[in-house]
Amino acid sequence: MGKISVLVGFVLLLFGNHLWARTITVCNTCEVKTIKEGVAVAADYDTLLIKKGTYREFNIQVNKPLTIIGENYPVIDGEDQGEIFTIVSNNVTIDGLYIINVGTSYTSDYAAIRVVKSENFLIQNMVLEKLFFGIYLEKCKNGEVYNNKVIGDAVDEYNSGNGIQLWYSQNIVVKNNIVQHVRDGIYLEFSDNITIENNISSDNLRYGLHFMFSNDDIYKNNTFENNGAGVAVMFSKRIKMLGNTFKKNWGAASFGLLLKEINDAEITGNSFEENTIGISIEGSNRINYSKNNFIKNGWAIKVRGACYTNTFIHNNFMYNSFDLAYNSNLNDNIFEENYWSNYTGYDLDRNGTGDIPYRPVKLFSYIVNRTPETIILLRSLFMDIIDFSEKVSPVFTPDELVDAKPLMKKIK
């Protein structure tokens, strides 16, 4: 009984706090003129309502559960002095602020909003501009990052930061954000069980999305366009990549998706369009590729290093300059029932798959690999002739690398 009353008392106290939560208004003419001051006077679970105006503040430490809401996007101008918000408490919500001029430093990673070792936070509807790092989640759990707009002005990789960075964090949802002109749009390191959904990451210097040593994550329905390279997934396990669009990632070392030392991943329903390389694969095993569209890429898939037991089923390969290139052995990888727009075979028995196998590796892709300048002879009659003769009697390309059942119609 005593235990219960203590518990009830505790709950009441908790609720009471909520029930009695105040709203503190911050504005230039209010009693509370700065956010810092607001945080200082607020009690736990209070709301800070920031009115429209410009607040020249930085190093705002949020050390209690608070809801900080901006009205009509008040401007928080850091004047390049340092970090703006540092959240070190659980249950913090930040909503609707316009943060500008985050300090740039070579020694510490200043962020517009940094969350440190906290849980149950919500960062939404923020606009971040002229920043170093955008939203930096450090050893956090169970948080949500929604509907934010992060627009950097990065020019060089060495002095620019990432848009949204997760470091040693878990169970975070990053959804509906727009990230542009930073180094990596979204960066994950040692972060597990993360969901990244419906974001648009474009025009970033390095990667649209970058995974390092992160497992069991899922990213879906995002768009990665015109980044230094689309998405790099490195040294991670069990990543699900569903329904994303990788577009126009152009350049000598550019790709839509890079897989490096990745195991047991699932890549389904993505669209790779007009990238120099659709997917670049290095040392990755047991990956299922299905229902992806590879459209108008330079190379749909380029494989370096050994890769085992990957399956490519029901993908569309359309109008790529090269469908597949690799420079070592492809071991027991399966290509089956894909649609290849370059396939010239026929289907006499009308079962929907071509009667002669399709060879996705062309001799010319070998030649280009060896002497890159020969790319200029792409689609020349001479190349078509030697590719054809190679197709008829393979000498350089592996005999067993075929799609034995190429589809006659593309997969919808």
Partner 1 sequence: MIKILKYSFYDLMRSRWSYVYFLFYLLLGFVLLFLNNELSKAVITLMNVIIVLVPLIGTIFGVMYYYNSKEFTELLLAQPIKRSSIFLGQYFGVAGSLTMSLVLGLGIPFALYGLFESNAIWDFSLLLITGAFLTLIFTAVAFNIALSNENRIKGFGYAVLAWLFLAVIYDGLFLMSLIVFEEYPLDSFSLVATMFNPIDLSRTLILLKLDISALLGYTGAIFKQFFGTNLGLVISICTLLLWTIIPVWRLGYVAKRKDF
Query: Does residue 399 belong to the site contacting partner 1 (CB under 8 A)?
Result: no
Stretch that binds partner 1, among 128-136, 160-168, 218-226, 275-283 (CB under 8 A): 275-283
Query: Does residue 226 belong to the site contacting partner 1 (CB under 8 A)?
Result: no
Smaller CB separation from partner 1, 118 or 365 = 365
User: Binders of partner 1 among 126-185, rule CB under 8 A?
Assistant: none
Rounded to the nearest whole angstrom, what is the least distance from the CB of residue 318 to partner 1 in the complex? 8
Query: Does residue 322 belong to the site contacting partner 1 (CB under 8 A)?
Result: yes
* Contact with partner 1 (CB under 8 A) among 9, 251, 352, 398: 251
Interatomic CA distance for residues 44 and 30, integer angstroms: 21
Q: 14-49 burial, b if ≥16 CB within 10 A, otherwise e?
A: eeeeeeebeebebbeebebebbbbbbeebeebbbbb
Name, in order, each residue with C-beta under 8 angstroms of 291's C-beta and a sequence gap of 6 or more.
268, 269, 314, 315, 411
Smaller CB separation from partner 1, 299 or 335 = 299
Stretch that binds partner 1, among 16-24, 64-72, 216-224, 296-304 (CB under 8 A): 296-304
Quick check: 270 and 245 in contact, CB under 8 A?
yes
Quick check: 282 and 261 in contact, CB under 8 A?
yes
Number of residues located near partner 1, criterion CB under 8 A? 35
Phi, psi at 136, each rounded to 5°: -120, 110
Interatomic CA distance for residues 124 and 383, integer angstroms: 54
* Contact with partner 1 (CB under 8 A) among 34, 120, 147, 341: 341
Other Cβ atoms within 10 Å of 392 Cβ, number: 7
Stretch that binds partner 1, among 76-84, 94-102, 232-240, 250-258 (CB under 8 A): 250-258
DSSP state letter for 185: S
* Contact with partner 1 (CB under 8 A) among 375, 401, 404, 411: 375
Provide the 3-class DSSP secondary structure of residue 57: coil
Return residues touching partner 1 (CB under 8 A): 248, 250-252, 254, 274-277, 296-299, 318-319, 321-322, 341, 367, 370-385
